[in-house]
């Protein structure tokens, strides 16, 4: 695991965008695994800027997102599909037919999860998976538990996650209670993983996830076992790692 310290959110975003841009330049038809949330917004903004300057070309790129709320449509402003369109896809030359997210409107969870796993296989697997880190150590919507969940599955969101995500909704009551997410195995099969973390509120979990024991109570800790993980974290997020980093 490689840990790169950034000064702040802006610096983290540029460094992460550099890693993604390098991936796209090295393999123009690569498969990018993407995330939503606050962490990647700056990274996507930077990529859009470089696309506008002609430095990155998304024409042959395929994307698969980590997760989507269950029960809300892609047109809903709170959906992750909407987020991706408004934070990246609509501003670069990516082919919309090659952008994929779980379909939150498929009521058949078993069928949707199997479809998404199969799709990831069909596109050739993920070359570079971008991840944010939840305060409880979740990656995607893989919440702390007794086991590492394997493939794409439907999850009941934990109260802490609903609480953290309610900022995007009118109230906590409106936050969906379930989501479809890539599983830990799906994530671990990515050839490269890039984790971005910013802010002092993540300092405890950064220390536990990347320097603590590998346990399903801290889902992100499994990343320590992956052969090619880069963490780009700002100084505040790394502030509890001391000399470990």
Q: How far is the CB of 199 from ligand F6R (least distance, A)?
A: 8
The one catalytic residue in 68, 127, 138, 153 is 138
**Cα 243 to Cα 245: distance, rounded to the nearest angstrom:** 6
**Cα 92 to Cα 11: distance, rounded to the nearest angstrom:** 22
Residue with the shortest CB distance to ligand F6R: 132
Q: Report the DSSP beta bridge partners of residue 32.
A: 63, 128
The one catalytic residue in 65, 103, 136, 142 is 136
Please choose, from the candidates 155, 64, 162, 169, the residue with its C-alpha nearest in 3D space to the C-alpha of residue 117. 64
86 is catalytic: no
Are 73 and 43 spatial neighbours (Cβ–Cβ below 8 Å)?
Answer: no
Q: With respect to ligand F6R, which residue has the nearer C-beta, 56 or 194?
A: 194
65 is catalytic: no
Instruction: List residues binding ligand F6R (CB under 6 A).
Output: 35-39, 66-67, 132-134, 138-141
Q: With respect to ligand F6R, which residue has the nearer C-beta, 94 or 164?
A: 164
Q: With respect to ligand F6R, which residue has the nearer C-beta, 61 or 179?
A: 179
- Which region holds residue 150: left if phi is over 0, alpha if psi is between -120 and 50, else beta? alpha
143 is catalytic: yes
165 is catalytic: no
CA quadruple 69, 190, 29, 9: dihedral sign: positive
Q: How far is the CB of 54 from ligand F6R (least distance, A)?
A: 29
Residues taking part in catalysis:
67, 136, 138, 143
């Amino acid at each position: 695991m490689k840990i790169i310290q950034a000064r702040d959110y802006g610096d983290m975003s540029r460094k992460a965008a550099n890693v993604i841009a390098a991936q796209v330049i090295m393999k123009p038809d690569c498969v990018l695994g993407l995330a939503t949330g606050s962490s990647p917004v700056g990274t996507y903004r930077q990529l859009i800027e470089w696309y506008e300057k002609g430095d990155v070309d998304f024409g042959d790129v395929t994307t698969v997102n980590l997760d989507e709320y269950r029960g809300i449509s892609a047109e809903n402003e709170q959906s992750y599909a909407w987020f991706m369109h408004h934070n990246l896809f609509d501003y670069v030359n990516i082919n919309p037919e090659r952008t994929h997210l779980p379909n939150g409107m498929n009521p058949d969870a078993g069928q949707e999860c199997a479809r998404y796993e199969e799709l990831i296989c069909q596109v050739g697997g993920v070359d570079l998976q971008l991840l944010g880190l939840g305060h409880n150590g979740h990656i995607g919507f893989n919440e702390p538990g007794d086991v590492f969940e394997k493939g794409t599955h439907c999850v009941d969101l934990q109260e802490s996650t609903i609480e953290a995500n309610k900022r995007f909704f009118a109230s906590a009551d409106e936050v969906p209670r379930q989501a479809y997410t890539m599983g830990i195995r799906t994530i671990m099969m990515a050839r490269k993983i890039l984790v971005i973390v910013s802010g002092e509120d993540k300092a405890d979990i950064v220390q536990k996830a990347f320097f603590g024991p590998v346990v399903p109570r801290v889902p992100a800790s499994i990343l320590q076992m992956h052969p090619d993980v880069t963490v780009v974290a700002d100084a505040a997020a790394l502030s509890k790692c001391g000399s470990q980093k």
